[in-house]
Amino acid sequence: MAPTVTREPTHSPLRFDSPAATGAALIAGGLAVLLVLVLVAMASGRYAVTPSEFVASLRRMLGGGTSPQTADAVLWQIRLPRIALACLVGGALGASGAAFQHLFRNPLVAPDTLGVSSGAALGAVLAIVAGAGVAVAALAAFGGGLLAVALVMALAARIGAHDRTLTLVLIGVVIASLGGAAISLLKFLADPYNQLPAITFWLMGSLAAATWQQVAIVAPAIVAAVALLTALAWRINLLALPEDEARALGAHVPRLRAVVVAAATVATAASVAVSGVVGWVGLVVPHIARLAGGPEFSRLLPLATILGAIFLLVIDTLARAATAVEIPPGILTAFIGTPLFLALLARRSA
């Protein structure tokens, strides 16, 4: 009787090149890069912090016993809140952009497609013209973004067109245009010496006024919104299908679409409320994440979130450390995002 030959299986569920393993490796690599960039950002700026000063400051923060130094205030009260806010805002915009592009099945969709950025900007500009403080302007921006998207959703439900997705996009473009016109009118009527410069600088975006209080206020909204999208990732995958096919697979499409829009809108509105209008992050970052990890939403969402945090952290570090005068991050994202997006389009069409 011939001996039995045992062969190893040709396919193993634990292979590294499986989609799950590849996605986990990309996420782990992205987190490692983000951690390195956080350390670089903490050391970069007009007040240079050497590695030895950083270690000594960290030891003092952990109870080393020596008296506080200037580096402690720079690191823990100025730079670290700004870095945390940049990561939160970039991650929120990246996740929102990925959600909207997946929902509308359109790679040109951005978080402000439904008018959330225009609504938030209009709310902040109204507060500035009314003479309100920074906190009230941020709250008005958050409320304005939510109201703009609520108006878009209400009008789309009222019109009741057959193609609901296209209707949402078109109404969002109209509301965004109306918000832009209202902002232009308010800029024309504003005090040119005090209010107009404040409006202009807010619309260009900035993280210069970041504080731990701002981080504590926006972090719960952003984390909750991204967590909700993550929990529904396997259902959100169905939204990439035609509506009748998604319904046949058990998805309640109108309710799921409303939840995705609400979560992405909350994350975007919270981001715009504390950073102003920072464009291109939610448009470019999901393309990079999709190119790296594929279109499957449970991989796309965490990758877009991490890459969004990396992108805006790099932009903000350059904005405050590259020149003697701080450059608004909204300008840098446009200068860097435009050629990057064109390169991605060229690669896609090749």
Q: Does residue 230 share a domain with residue 88?
A: yes
Q: Does residue 332 share a domain with residue 301?
A: yes
Burial category of 255 from C-beta neighbours within 10 Å (exposed 0-12, middle 13-18, buried 19 and up): exposed
How far, in Å, CA of 166 to CA of 173, rounded? 11
User: So what's the pLDDT on residue 12?
Assistant: 38
User: So what's the pLDDT on residue 18?
Assistant: 53
Rounded to whole angstroms, what are the CA distances from 42 to 57, 77, 171?
A: 12, 11, 42
Question: pLDDT digit string (tens) for 163-220?
Answer: 777 888 889 999 999 999 999 999 999 999 889 999 988 888 889 889 999 999 999 9
Q: Does residue 153 share a domain with residue 124?
A: yes
State which residues form the domain around 165: 111-204
Question: pLDDT digit string (tens) for 267-277?
Answer: 999 999 999 98
Q: Flag whether 15 is in a domain.
A: no
User: So what's the pLDDT on residue 175?
Assistant: 93
User: So what's the pLDDT on residue 67?
Assistant: 58
Q: Does residue 224 share a domain with residue 135?
A: no
Q: Flag whether 1 is in a domain.
A: no
User: So what's the pLDDT on residue 123?
Assistant: 95
User: So what's the pLDDT on residue 326?
Assistant: 87
Q: Flag whether 105 is in a domain.
A: yes
Q: Among 175, 204, 233, where does a domain finish?
A: 204
Q: Flag whether 13 is in a domain.
A: no
Q: Does residue 245 share a domain with residue 192?
A: no
User: So what's the pLDDT on residue 299?
Assistant: 92
Q: Does residue 314 share a domain with residue 225?
A: yes
Q: Flag whether 118 is in a domain.
A: yes
What predicted TM-score, i.e. pTM, was given to this entire model? 0.88
User: So what's the pLDDT on residue 274?
Assistant: 92
Pull the structure tokens for residue 57. 């400051």
How far, in Å, CA of 283 to CA of 219, rounded? 22
User: So what's the pLDDT on residue 129?
Assistant: 93
In total, how many domains does the chain have? 2
User: Please, what's the b/e burial string for 8-30 (b: 16 or more CB within 10 A of its CB; e: otherwise)?
Assistant: eeeeeeeeeeeeeebbeebbeeb
Q: Among 204, 225, 241, where does a domain finish?
A: 204
User: So what's the pLDDT on residue 275?
Assistant: 92
> Can you give the CATH number for the domain in which 95 is found?
1.10.3470.10
User: So what's the pLDDT on residue 11?
Assistant: 39
Q: Does residue 338 share a domain with residue 276?
A: yes
Pull the structure tokens for residue 210. 């970041």
Q: Flag whether 258 is in a domain.
A: yes
Q: Does residue 244 share a domain with residue 98?
A: yes
Q: Does residue 232 share a domain with residue 221?
A: yes
How far, in Å, CA of 24 to CA of 143, rounded? 36
CA 321 to chain centre: 22
Q: Does residue 328 share a domain with residue 234?
A: yes
Cβ atoms of residues 103 and 153 within 8 Å: no
CA 177 to chain centre: 22
Q: Flag whether 186 is in a domain.
A: yes
Q: Among 159, 176, 204, where does a domain finish?
A: 204
How far, in Å, CA of 347 to CA of 350, rounded? 5
Q: Does residue 280 share a domain with residue 188?
A: no
Q: Flag whether 240 is in a domain.
A: yes
Q: Does residue 237 share a domain with residue 118?
A: no
How far, in Å, CA of 38 to CA of 79, rounded? 10
For residue 176, give the nearest of 264, 107, 112, 127 by alpha carbon: 112
Q: Which residues of the chain have pLDDT under 50?
A: 1-17
Pull the structure tokens for residue 172. 């969002």
